[in-house]
Structure 1
Amino acid sequence: MYKLVTIAFLLSLISCIKQRDEIDVTWNINLEKPVDKQIYISGNQPFLGNWSPKSILLEKNDSLHWSFTNTVSKNTLLEYKFTLGDWNFQAANENGIALENMEVITPKKDTIINVNIKNWTSGNQLQEQGQITGTVEYIKDFHIDGLKDRDIIIWLPPSYKTNQTKRYPVLYMHDGQNTIDPRTSSFGVDWQVDETVTNLIENKKLQEIIIVASYCTEDRNADYGDTKKGKLYRKSLAIDLKKYIDIKYRTKPQKQHTAIAGSSMGGLVSFMSAWEYPEVYKGAICMSPAFKYEDFDYINTITEDNKKDLILYIDNGGKGVDIILQPGVEKMEKELLKKGYKLNDDLFVVFNKKAKHSEGDWALRFPYAIELFFKK
């Protein structure tokens, strides 16, 4: 009987601790005018659909009022938008201009967030913000046992089709749907790596390179994290995908001609990929990398490692999610300096306090980063 009472007490205590660590967040959506479609919330957490535009459906209270409630850990940064099930139709101001990502750091008590939506973007507006420049090819449903199939987009440099003997360096990228084609990008705005690289090549500032960009899947957090599945994903890029690309395309397969790049969790996995496979990659471009956030701290896992023969570019902004990520960037910089890396030699760190956690801001920093690796 004593044991049962003790167990009951412990379970009750655990429940109380959980309740103190979590709160309920409710979004109340107030529309200017009714819509004939469903309304969804999309954001940076799994319960917000990991930025899927048609995953988390709101509850319709009446024609002008919708709502959504979820339990969230305290002090969690939530970044989110509202859509009609497609990024071409997202919450906008009275002029039809898409609203920027909304943000909130969850407080210590249950909270209600009221959002007024006056309009929605039109179906064609976002598609007009960019286009594919140059020649691209696709690998559909690239398969690796243990991972979800994913598409790969390959951008080919200007002379690739005409100079049949020339071989090219390769940049591998994550979140491929956001890198080149605005029609597949999460918010209709891509990194514009095709326009950037084309411009740099034409101005003789950059070598002609091939870009291989792997799309993410619904398992993005696991694939890009320090997990068992993440380890398999990094291996699949460094070995399986690279082997496929080196056979099918005229690449320069050596380490000094191969780099990897990504942002946010993609910035983290770019660092991990280069760190685990320094014989494959020259280095990594890590934009707004999620080295440390909430209870996760990747830097602690490499403290006992020796310096690797790599060039590392790390940057971050000063707004939104990047505020949460900045302590991790600073801690990683200190750790790498301790290992013997030298600033502006084999370690480059950039901070832009005006920049947000977005494709548009990463696109602005991309030219400087890519020149560090493939300058002509």
Structure 2
Amino acid sequence: MKRAFFAALLCFAVFVPAAQAQIVQTIDHFPSQYVDARRVDILLPKEYEADKNQRFPVLYMQDGQNVLSDETAMDYTSWNAGNTAMDLAAQKEIKPVIIVAIWNTSDRYLEYFPEKASEYLTDDEVKEMMEIAKTRGSSKGVFMGNDYLKFLVGELKVYVDKTYRTLTDAQNTAICGSSMGGLISMYAAFEYPEVFGSAACLSTHWPVLFDENNTNPSEAIRKYMELHMPPSKNHRFYFDHGTGGLDAMYGPHQEQVDQLMLRSGYLKGANYATRVFEGAEHNEKSWRQRFDEVLLFLYGK
């Protein structure tokens, strides 16, 4: 059954050359029994074809349409993740890495929220979140973070590890995202610490409800984090935010997360980073400008 599943996926795979000897495999509709099918782009570094015996770490990234290509990205500005990774690898600053860019759907808001944190939300807050999701095109009406992670871990990662020469252990498996994508990336590492050894969370949307006066959703996430913290001895976390636009409200929330992480045994400069980028705003252009910092934290030699 699994063999037929993988064979069916490969029938829909299209290989196209990317810039500077990279290869991107696109699966237009990756099927799932947990969430709606979606596009997945898998970028292979040039070293993948050069050495048939080499295996590579894998970075799973949210909002995949914004990760690799300006043509599909919001405002036609992507993170330029593939070229940045390739340039750093060529300079021997990082290890070559496979990047799996997972496109979002209209259920993004519900899929990217750390579902177990909803236990600490009020009924009115849950209702407001469902209304926000509805305005963004979702008709599900339920939190979907747990199902999204089941898709990510139980289906997508299984496919990637079976199809490509990957280093499958947690030490070589990382996850990354921005805004709500930062929340689900944190959640993935907390829920599946045996799968994800590192997480990078840019401009993490701690407020959730876009309301600076209601801090309870942020407190709910921290309550969850405190109860499910992965051991600091074998996990690594990167957080950051700017000071412009939506990012301007993140500072107080991030400072409390920083204190929680430090109380839990994480050490700045070792297995934990938290950074502030003055003037940076909440958009792909800003995340693109500092993605090299993320890669150096995750894969720097």
Give TM-score, length-normalised by structure 1: 0.63
Is 1:338 aligned with 2:263? yes
Supply the distance in 2 between the matched residues of 1:136 and 1:156 (Cα, whole angstroms).
6
TM-superposed CA distance for 1:132, in Å, is 4.7
Shift of 1:243: 0.5
Aligned to 1:275: 190
Amino acid at match of 2:270: D
Selected match of 2:151 from 218, 236, 253: 236
Task: Work out whether residues 66 and 74 of structure 2, in 8 Å CA contact, stay in contact via their aligned partners in 1.
Answer: yes
CA distance in 2, matches of 1:257, 1:304: 25
SS at match of 2:99: strand
Q: CA deviation at 1:323?
A: 1.3
* 1:360 aligns to 2:285 (yes or no): yes
1:302 deviation in Å?
A: 2.1
- Unmatched runs of 5 consecutive residues or more in structure 2: 1-17, 116-142
Q: Pick the structure with greater CA Rg.
A: 1
> Structure 1 residue 226: deviation in Å?
2.4
Once residues 132 and 219 of structure 1 are traced to their aligned partners in structure 2, the CA distance between those partners, rounded to angstroms, is 31
Deviations 1:4-59 (A, max 9, x none): xxxxxxxxxxxxxxxxxxxxxxxxxxxxxxxxxxxxxxxxxxxxxxxxxxxxxxxx
Instruction: Find the aligned partners of 2:33 and 2:230 in 1 and give their Cα distance.
Output: 32
Describe the superposition over 1:258-312 as per-residue Cα deviations: whole angstroms up to 9, x where unpaired.
1000000001111110111111111100000012343422112222345523100
* SS at 1:253 equivalent: coil
Q: 1:292 maps to what in 2? A: 207
Matched, 1:205 2:120: no
After TM superposition, the structure 1 stretch with the greater mean CA deviation from structure 2, 228-237 or 291-300, is: 291-300
Q: Of the candidates 149, 162, 178, which is equivalent to residue 263 of structure 1?
A: 178
**1:154-179: CA deviations, max 9, x gaps?**
11011212322111110000000000
Q: Which runs of 4+ in 1 moved over 6 A?
A: none
Q: Give the aligned residue type for 1:195.
A: N
Equivalent residue letter for 2:277: N
> Which consecutive unaligned segments of at least 5 residues does structure 1 have?
1-130
Residues 307 and 154 (structure 1 numbering): CA distance in 2 closer, same or farther, change over 3 Å? closer
Which of residues 304, 307, 313 is equivalent to 2:227? 304
Per-residue deviation, 1:373: 1.6
| Greater Cα offset, 362-371 or 169-178 | 362-371
SS at 1:161 equivalent: helix
Asked if 1:248 is matched to 2:163, the reply is: yes
2:68 to 138, 163, 180: 180
CA–CA separation in structure 2 for the residues paired with 1:176 and 1:307: 26
Please state whether the residue corresponding to 2:273 is helix, strand or coil: strand
SS for the counterpart of 1:207 is coil
TM superposition shift of 1:326: 2.2
- In structure 2, C-alpha distance between the alignment counterparts of 1:226 and 1:270, rounded to whole Å: 9
2: CA distance, partners of 1:246 / 1:239: 11
1:322 partner SS = helix
Mapped contact 1:292–1:299 kept (Cα < 8 A): no
Letter in 2 for 1:299: R
Distance change >3 Å, CA 307–CA 151, structure 1 → 2: closer
Percent pairwise identity: 33
Aligned to 2:246: 321
State the AA in 2 paired with 1:243. V
**Number of residue-to-residue matches in the alignment:** 246
Q: Do structure 1's residue 154 and structure 2's residue 31 form an aligned pair?
A: no
Show the counterpart of 1:78.
none
Kept after mapping to 2: 8 A contact 1:132/1:180: no
The answer to whether the 8 Å contact 1:173/1:214 transfers is yes
Cα offset, 1:193, TM superposition: 0.5
Task: Give the Cα–Cα distance (whole angstroms) in 2 for the partners of residues 318 and 154 of structure 1.
Answer: 32
- CA apart distance, 1:143: 1.5
Give the Cα–Cα distance (whole angstroms) in 1 for the partners of residues 30 and 90 of structure 2: 32
CA RMSD across the alignment: 1.5
